[in-house]
Structures are given as C-alpha cells and as structure tokens.
A and B are shown apart, each in its own frame.
Chain A
Amino acid sequence: MAYTPLQKDTVISHTEINDNFTFVGVGDIQPRQGVSLTSVNDTLNLGSDTKRWKDIHIQTLDMSASQTVTNTFSMISEVTLSGSASEIEFTGLNGDVDNVYIITGAIVSDSGTSTPRVNLFLSNTQGSYSASSVYRTQFMQTSKLGTASGNETGGAIAQYANRRTTITGECIFEAYLFSKTGQERLFISDSTHEFSASAIENRSLFGSIWSNTDMTITAMLFKNNLVVASTMSFMTGTNIQIWAKR
C-alpha cells in the first residue's frame, strides 16, 4: 500500500484517500517523515519530556541504546579490555543525579608476586582524584591460607591473588556505592578470586569510605594498588560495568 501526497488541481480517487488513512493508521506504526511519509530510523520520538504518553502496553521491548526508568538500575557504561591496561576510567558521571551506583565486573589479573587489591578512586569537582590516603577500607576474607581481616588505606573493591597461571585466574566483584554529596561516600563490595583451574584463592568483603562530603562524583578510576610500583595490569578480557539508579 502506498501513500499518495495530495496535490493542487490533482484529482485523487477515493481509494487513494482510503489508502492514505490505512497507511497511517493500520498495522505497524512506523516513525515517518517528509511529504511521502518515509519511515526513518532513530530520529523521531514518541511523546516528549513534558508531553508523555500515559501508559504504553506492549508485548516485547527492544532497545538499542539506553533506558531511563525511574527507580530501576540501568547500565550506563561498560568497558571490556581488548588489551592490557594499567587503569580503567569512567567519566561523564554525576553522583548527585545517580545517587547509587552498582559496580560489577570480572578482573583478569596480571601475574606477579604480591596480592594486590583493585582500588576505586573517585573524582572531585576539579576533575582530579583524591590520593589513596583519603580512603579507608575495612575488610574480611577467607582464603586458602585461612581467614583475615583488617583496616587499611585505599578504597578497595576487589582482591585477587598473584599466582595467576592460567586463563581462569580471574575475580568477579559487585560493589554498591552511595554517591550523593552531603555525607561521606560509602561503598561495599563482594569479590571472589580463583587463581588456577582447581582452587579459589579468596572470598572477600570490603567496606570503604571516601571521606569527602561536598564534591560531586564525576568520574571513577580503577587501579591496582601496586600498579605504580610493579607491572600489575588489568589484562585482556577485563570487564567493568557501571549501573545507576535513575
């Protein structure tokens, strides 16, 4: 069925008129534009920020970009390394808009001789990062060497072992960060790490604080706490996702 634009001094049949209504009103409703009502992609909106549809009832929802649904967590950024990197940074954030972040990922660790942590650094409004001494972490963990707990500087969110000898030497973690200004920013993280094809190195729980209360979080930086002093890096396949409550 075609759409027939009306023209001055041109006779149009009743069929063409009916077809125009059918073209617009029947079947799939496409985003259309121009005098011939050509369908277009990723251009037009349904409703607007101040003129919203009340309810949308659909069978299947297929989105190619982002979604903003009040009171749900949505992934707002993701990095998967295709090569090694000494640090991973996320910018363009606004901790006062998002309020709460869920940070989750799978870290592929470098080899080494120590037991590094993955530390989270939060930006201040000047776009720089506070030194690790401004953060404090309490942790407890169970490992093949036994249990441990402690208090240390830095904002730890995961720990992995140094004895990575196979591709399975990775850890996964999930952290919650309360990001709004007005009080200290707290985050809590679970992580577990395997270092070979037959053993779990440790299972850790971290609770951390960034004592700054008045600077909006605009970026996050993930670093190994030994990265400056050694060759520890995030390796290919490392994946970190930032989810926000919006």
Chain B
Amino acid sequence: MKKQRFWPIMMILLGAIYFLLPLFATFEFSLRERRGEYSFDSYNYVLSDPQFRDSFVYSVALALATIVVSLILIVPTAFWVHLKLPQLRPVIEFITLLPFVIPPIVLVFGLIRIYSRPPIVLVSTPALLVAGYVVLSFPYMYRAVDTGLRAIDVRSLTEAAQSLGASWLTILFRVIFPNLRVSLLNGAFLTFAIVLGEFTMATMLNWPTFGPYLALIGQNRAYEPAALAIISFGLTWICIGLIQLLSRGSQEQGQLAGTR
C-alpha cells in the first residue's frame, strides 16, 4: 500500500516545490521595502489604499456575473453539440479558441467601434465589459464542459430523463448540471482568475477594475507590485475556495447517475 503512494506523493511534492518557490521569491522581495531589514511596509501601502479594496470588489462582482453568463451560454451549447450536432463540434471549438489568437487590444477596439454608436450603444455600461470577459472565458469554459460531458454517459442520462417525461430545461438543470459539477466548478475557477487579472479591456473601456489598478502600482514602484502580487494571489485563492465551499452545498442533492 505504501509503495503505491510513493509516486503520487513525489508528484505532488515536486509540483509544490515548482509552484511555491517563485511565490516565495516574490514574497521575500516584497519584504525588502525598508532598507536593511524585513518589514511589511509594502503591504501596508497596498492594504491602506481604498482603491485596492474598491477595484478588487468590483472585479469580483464582474467575475461572478461573467461566470453566470458564460455557464448559461456554454453548457447548453456543449450539451447540444455533444448530443445532437457532433458535426458542428470543430466549428464550435474553433470559435471558442479564437479568443486566444485575437489580440485583446484588437477585440476591445472592435467592441468600442461597433457598440459606441446607434443602434446599439453599449459602451457606457459595464455589460459590454462583461460580454468581452465572457468571450475571453470561452476556450476554458467550453473545454472544461466538453471534457466533463465526455466523462459521463450523456446519451443514457438524457434518454432516461426523457422517458421519465422531463423537459429539456429540467434535463439541463436537474440532470446535466449536477453531473458536471466538477467541470463547471473548474471552468468557473478559470473564468474567475481571468476576469480578476484582465487589464486591456478594462482600461480601454474605462472601468475601475483590479487589472488597471495592478498596472498603476506596477509603474515605477519596486516593492509594492510584489506585495500586490502576493496579496491578490492569496485573495483570489480565498475567493475560489469560497466558490468551492458554496457549491459543495448543492452536492448533497445527489447525482442521478454517479460516475464515481
């Protein structure tokens, strides 16, 4: 038994070393604000800045909105393609991968050009930014949901539910969603992190999010950006942990066809 756990432990240990060392180096540098001794001066500077709290909270709100819209858009689509329209899969995959190769600066300027004049003027609401973020989340959300769909027997589940008289909406929300819990959660994590760190769109559309704040601090200051990196890493981790805790409540509803 112990021998079987050797490789997993090694793997996790190596992973931990790889991930934690650079964070440690950043942390150590952030403590050097005061000459000759370690201090938390750079942290005080950041945490006492009201703009820090405001922009962080604002970004969290946008991130949650993005997650909701993205889920509503992607999950039914992926489900439908999986079940009924597999020939569309390459097309949908291509579309969802486009945000990787279209430079965000081009995308945001395109959004401004189109939605700053009648008939649809969206440029004065944060909805346009959320739409942009939903687009950025496409590759991650779709891939997460698609992987999850492959792992469960979608066809049988759907047929079983249909034979019990369930409507499509019921199938989606009470059969598919619960079985995709892990995928949806992971997709949500990825989206959350993206929105929190995003800079280009927020700054050109002029919304007070966390990304532009990070960039502002990063100019010409040496130690505060490192402190900020550590703080935002920690805070984001807490937020994601909270999302995971919140979702655990719904797990108790049980799954209709356990795959575990």
Asked if chains A and B come from one complex, the reply is: no
Q: Which residues of B contact A (CB under 8 A)?
A: none
Q: Which residues of A contact B (CB under 8 A)?
A: none
